[in-house]
């Protein structure tokens, strides 16, 4: 973005309406006569506005058109100085006097995008839809099997085992395009280190192969406007510049982050590491998982955050990917994630770096 004195200001008002000559100004008018003229003046401006707005808003660089009753003139917003001349010329063709309008240099208005909106290309942290459920896209990867994204095993039609689950983004109703299809989701095993009556794995992870027509950005995680504040508005991007392929025992106190479609960007500290974790209401047990809580007791997870990428911030918006979130405590103050090392042991080597 270009840096100029004009653009550093939030809004620089460029007043180009000419002040009427003193001899043309009306003389003193009794209050009752002024009151009678006010509706007539507003009717005249409204008629000018109906003529001017379609012409001005069709020009490149225009931001808004307003019949400003408080100012008593038409006001037009433009993105840059170069657009002013076009607006002036259009209004002159319509016979609208410069004393009837002003022009403001105004930043363009953008639609606010949230994690639940449509993204093309796709990026990590956004909403995905499968069967009748919603989850979060974990992270885009290059894999020997093709361009893919990783999300949770339980974010498939059947947890464990491949049944070719179809994924949509943000939902099949909003966009019926199948963005990807499940191609890898190892079966849960019994026996050995897995406790009696349980089915175990070392990661709650699956891989979906992208459809050829759907674009994806590897190494990008949607960044919401602030951490631990519940915002889902996307204000930037985290860039994955590294991935931790070797750690399962994270040091207690390590600060990690996640971005998910329900609670946005949250962060906390590792409180338990390489912990065998039962899943309430099922026979599933995830082995050697990591627990994260916020010291201030902030909400760090919610339903639908399953699949969220988990990462450490290294500098600025550059991050190192460390795993994928799959569970949380009933009070939403703790989340649990599978380390990337174990995800790769089960799904194969992936490259998530930009």
User: What's the CATH code of the domain at 80?
Assistant: 3.30.300.50
Higher pLDDT, 285 or 42: 285
* pLDDT range class, residue 4, cuts 50, 70, 90: very low
- Domain coverage including residue 318: 122-351
Q: What span, in angstroms and rounded, lies between the C-alpha atoms of 117 and 137?
A: 13
State how many domains the chain has: 2
How high is the pLDDT of residue 169? 98
Retrieve residue 44's tokens.
């005249």
Note whether 135 and 272 are same-domain residues.
yes
Q: What order of strands is seen across the sheet that includes strand 62-68? A: 62-68, 73-78, 101-105
Note whether 206 and 309 are same-domain residues.
yes
Q: What is the pLDDT of residues 123-169, one digit of tens each?
A: 999 999 999 999 999 999 999 999 999 999 999 999 999 999 999 99
Identify the helix (H) or strand (E) that includes residue 129: strand 127-130
Note whether 189 and 150 are same-domain residues.
yes
Mean pLDDT of all residues in 101-124: 91
Note whether 92 and 127 are same-domain residues.
no
* pLDDT range class, residue 297, cuts 50, 70, 90: very high
Note whether 82 and 174 are same-domain residues.
no
Residue 205 lies in a domain: yes
Considering Cα of 338, then 339, then 345, then 349, what sign does the dihedral take?
positive
Who contacts 217 (Cβ-Cβ below 8 Å, separation ≥6)? 121, 122, 123, 140, 354
Residue 294 lies in a domain: yes
Note whether 86 and 138 are same-domain residues.
no
Tell me the whole-structure pTM to 2 decimals: 0.76
Q: What is the pLDDT of residues 221-254, one digit of tens each?
A: 999 999 999 999 999 999 999 999 999 999 999 9
CATH number of the domain to which 164 belongs: 2.40.10.10
CA distances from 32 to 8, 29, 38 (A): 45, 8, 10
Q: Indicate the SS3 state at residue 161.
A: coil
Q: What is the pLDDT of residues 75-106, one digit of tens each?
A: 999 999 999 999 999 999 999 999 999 999 99
Note whether 132 and 60 are same-domain residues.
no
Note whether 89 and 211 are same-domain residues.
no
Q: Does residue 305 register a pLDDT over 50?
A: yes
Note whether 101 and 126 are same-domain residues.
no
How high is the pLDDT of residue 41? 81
Note whether 48 and 177 are same-domain residues.
no
How high is the pLDDT of residue 1? 36
* pLDDT range class, residue 119, cuts 50, 70, 90: very high
How high is the pLDDT of residue 247? 96
Retrieve residue 8's tokens.
């550093």
Mean pLDDT of all residues in 2-12: 37
How high is the pLDDT of residue 37? 53
How high is the pLDDT of residue 201? 98
How high is the pLDDT of residue 42? 86
Note whether 88 and 166 are same-domain residues.
no
Percent of the chain with pLDDT over 90: 85
How high is the pLDDT of residue 186? 98
How high is the pLDDT of residue 108? 84
Mean pLDDT of all residues in 255-274: 97
Nearest partner of 258 among 208, 197, 202, 321, judged by Cα: 321
Q: What is the pLDDT of residues 19-78, one digit of tens each?
A: 222 233 333 344 444 444 567 888 999 999 999 999 999 999 999 999 998 899 999 999
Who contacts 17 (Cβ-Cβ below 8 Å, separation ≥6)? 73, 98, 99, 100, 101, 102
Contact of 228 with 300, CB cutoff 8 Å = yes
* Whole-number average pLDDT of the chain: 90
Contact of 88 with 205, CB cutoff 8 Å = no
């Amino acid at each position: 973005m270009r840096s100029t004195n004009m653009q550093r200001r939030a809004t620089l008002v460029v007043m180009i309406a000419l002040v009427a000559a003193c001899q043309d100004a009306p003389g003193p008018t009794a209050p009752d006569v002024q009151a009678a003229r006010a509706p007539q003046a507003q009717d005249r401006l409204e008629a000018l506005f109906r003529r001017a707005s379609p012409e001005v808003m069709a020009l490149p660089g225009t931001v808004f058109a307003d019949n400003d009753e408080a100012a008593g003139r038409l006001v037009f917003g433009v993105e840059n100085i170069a657009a002013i001349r076009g607006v002036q010329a259009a209004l002159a063709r319509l016979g609208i006097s410069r004393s009837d309008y002003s022009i403001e240099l105004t930043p363009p208005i953008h639609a606010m995008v949230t994690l639940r909106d449509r993204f093309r290309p796709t990026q990590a942290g956004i909403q995905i839809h499968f069967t009748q459920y919603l989850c979060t896209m974990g992270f885009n990867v290059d894999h020997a099997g093709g361009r893919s994204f990783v999300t949770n095993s339980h974010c498939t039609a059947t947890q464990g085992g491949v049944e070719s689950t179809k994924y949509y983004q943000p939902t099949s109703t909003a966009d019926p395009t199948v963005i990807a299809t499940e191609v890898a989701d190892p079966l849960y095993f019994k026996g050995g280190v897995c406790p009696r009556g349980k089915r175990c794995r070392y990661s709650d992870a699956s891989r979906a192969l992208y459809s050829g027509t759907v674009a994806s950005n590897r190494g990008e995680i949607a960044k919401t406007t602030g951490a631990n504040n519940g915002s889902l508005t996307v204000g930037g991007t985290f860039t994955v510049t590294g991935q931790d392929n070797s750690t399962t025992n994270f040091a207690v106190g390590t600060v990690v982050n996640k971005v998910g479609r329900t609670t946005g960007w949250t962060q906390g500290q590792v409180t338990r590491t390489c912990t065998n974790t039962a899943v309430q209401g099922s026979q599933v047990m995830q082995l050697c998982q990591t627990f994260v809580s916020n010291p201030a007791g902030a909400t760090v997870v919610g339903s639908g955050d399953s699949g969220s990428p988990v990462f450490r911030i290294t500098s600025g918006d550059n991050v190192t990917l460390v795993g994928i979130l799959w569970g949380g405590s009933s009070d939403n103050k703790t989340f649990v994630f599978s380390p990337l090392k174990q995800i790769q042991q089960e799904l194969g080597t992936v490259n998530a770096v930009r």
